[in-house]
Structures are given as C-alpha cells and as structure tokens.
Amino acid sequence: MNNLSDIQKWFYKSITHPSGVTHGAAEAGTALAMDKGNIVDVIQPSDKLNAADRLAIYHNAYFLRLYGVLEAEYPALKAALGEDLFRKFALFFLQQNPSGSYSLYDLSANFPGFLAQSVPSENAEESWPNFIIDLVRLERLFQESYRGEGTESLPNTDNPDFDESGDGQVKSNSLRISPSLKLMHSTFPVHHYLLSVRRGEDVPLPNPEMTWLAVNRLNYNVKIYELSEDEFLLLKQISANPEIEISNEAVQPYSAKWLKEKFLY
C-alpha cells in the first residue's frame, strides 16, 4: 500500500503530464520508486470506465480549466497569435509555470515574462515578438489595475497639495501615486489593438509607433492614457521614488490632469 504523500505526488504528476496520464503515471511511479505505481494498482475502474479513463477526467479538467483562465485574461493576445499558437504558448506556459497560489488571479502573473523569454535572442530585434510581448504586458497591467487597490476607498484623496509649499518644490508627502496606476512604454500602439479586440473588432496588427501609456482605475473603471515621453518619465521617476523632490515647474503642465484622473492623490 502506498502512503498518502506518494499517492498525491503520483496523482499530481499523472494529471499534469503533457503527454497524458499513462505517461505521467509511469514516470511518477518510477520517480517515486512506488512498488505499485501502475494506474490499475492505484485507481479502481468503474462499471463503464477503466482506471486510466477515470484518471484522465482530472487530466483533461486540469488543462481545460487553467487554459480557460489564460484565454479569458488575454483575449487580445489570443486574437494576435491566433487560437492554435495561443494554445501552444498557453499550454507550454502551464507546464513550465504550475500555479503555486491559492488564487487563480496569480496564475498568469509570469505569462508576460514567459513569453519574453520565449523569443529567441536572434529574433529579439524583430518587431512582431515585441508587439506580442508588449500586448501581453498591457493585458496583465489592466488586470492588476482592475483588481488591485485603488484610490476609491482611500481617505483624503481629494486634497493633494502640489503648489502650496511656497519653496518651489513639491513636498514629498504630496506625491502619492495611486496604487492602481501602471506605466508602460511600447514600440507599438498596443492599446489601440487591445481595445479594438475587446470591442469585438477584427483589426490588423498595428505598425510600430513609440507609445507611452498609463493604465489607471478611476471610480472602478480602468482607463488607458496616452502620455508624452516627458510625462511618462516624470511619473516613472515619482513612482520609483515617492520621496523624490521635483520642481513645481516640472509638474505644473500635468498636475491638473494627474489630480483629475487620480494618478496622484
């Protein structure tokens, strides 16, 4: 009789093996040095299904469920890659990055990083992979902005103090970045593509164009903002170091917008 720990490891390896439960169980049985590691040694058949078919129900469900999560979270990526290629990347990602969290929201946190590492170095300068990677980054930032903390429930979000210090410097305690503000730079207008896909439009892949974006949530709605390079770099600077002192002159062109859109509070 196998112990519970070995049974669970065997079961897990069997239902997550990319080649199916027969391969998975055989590999697991050997790796765990189980005396009785064949499927029929562990799983009872039913009147209508043999032991392997019963185990395969869990194998199929594992990949379908987690693939469904990626599919739902990255509709624009799926549109850009096409269903077949998206499925290949998604399933390979799931094999390489099994969930270690109690939350499915964490499942795809590393999906952008995984895709970035999937680009062969000799293709790193090609535009299409860069578009794909930036698109998946933007989709992830949208999820993070949508689900994370925002300014809606924070106290005193209506009284930021940019210009009243009188010394030509913005006080550090006035520069509170919204927790839902995300910034990204892309060589493509990936936001237009993402929004078109989400509207159900069939759009071609865009041409390269330097793009600086902010993603932020305001009153529970996520908005994507096109920024100038200067504005983007300033926000980056502030978000990297909230204690930094920046001149009023630098902030002044943007302060009204930042307050209105709650980039800062």
- Applying the rule CB under 8 A, the residues between 173 and 232 that interact with another protein are 179-180, 191-192, 194-195, 198-199, 217, 220-226
Does 244 participate in binding another protein (rule CB under 8 A)? no
137-156: contacts with another protein (CB under 8 A): 142-143, 146-150, 152-153
Measured at the CA of 22, the angle between CA 19 and CA 27, to 5 degrees, comes to: 80
Does 124 participate in binding another protein (rule CB under 8 A)? no
Does 58 participate in binding another protein (rule CB under 8 A)? yes
Which is nearer to another protein, 65 or 171 (by Cβ)? 65
Does 27 participate in binding another protein (rule CB under 8 A)? no
> What is each CA distance from 183 to 220, 224, 262, in whole angstroms?
18, 10, 14
Please report how close the Cβ of residue 221 comes to another protein at its closest, in angstroms. Answer: 5
**Taking every pair of C-alpha atoms in the chain, what is the biggest distance, in angstroms?**
83
Does 43 participate in binding another protein (rule CB under 8 A)? yes
Does 109 participate in binding another protein (rule CB under 8 A)? no
> What is each CA distance from 43 to 139, 191, 227, in whole angstroms?
41, 49, 59
Q: How is residue 156 written in tokens?
A: 């005193």
Which is nearer to another protein, 23 or 147 (by Cβ)? 147
Which is nearer to another protein, 81 or 139 (by Cβ)? 139
72-101: contacts with another protein (CB under 8 A): 72-73, 98-101
Which is nearer to another protein, 38 or 172 (by Cβ)? 38
Measured at the CA of 117, the angle between CA 113 and CA 122, to 5 degrees, comes to: 145
Does 49 participate in binding another protein (rule CB under 8 A)? yes
Please report how close the Cβ of residue 28 comes to another protein at its closest, in angstroms. Answer: 11
Query: In angstroms, rounded to a whole number, what is the distance separating the alpha carbons of residues 30 and 103?
Result: 31
Query: In angstroms, rounded to a whole number, what is the distance separating the alpha carbons of residues 137 and 85?
Result: 18
71 residue type, one letter: E
Contact 204, 226 (CB under 8 A): no
Which is nearer to another protein, 115 or 190 (by Cβ)? 190
Which is nearer to another protein, 171 or 223 (by Cβ)? 223
Contact 234, 254 (CB under 8 A): yes
Number of chain residues interacting with another protein (CB under 8 A): 72
Contact 141, 215 (CB under 8 A): yes
- Tell me how crowded residue 260 is: count the other CB atoms within 10 A of its CB: 9
Among 104, 109, 205, 246, binds another protein (CB under 8 A): 104
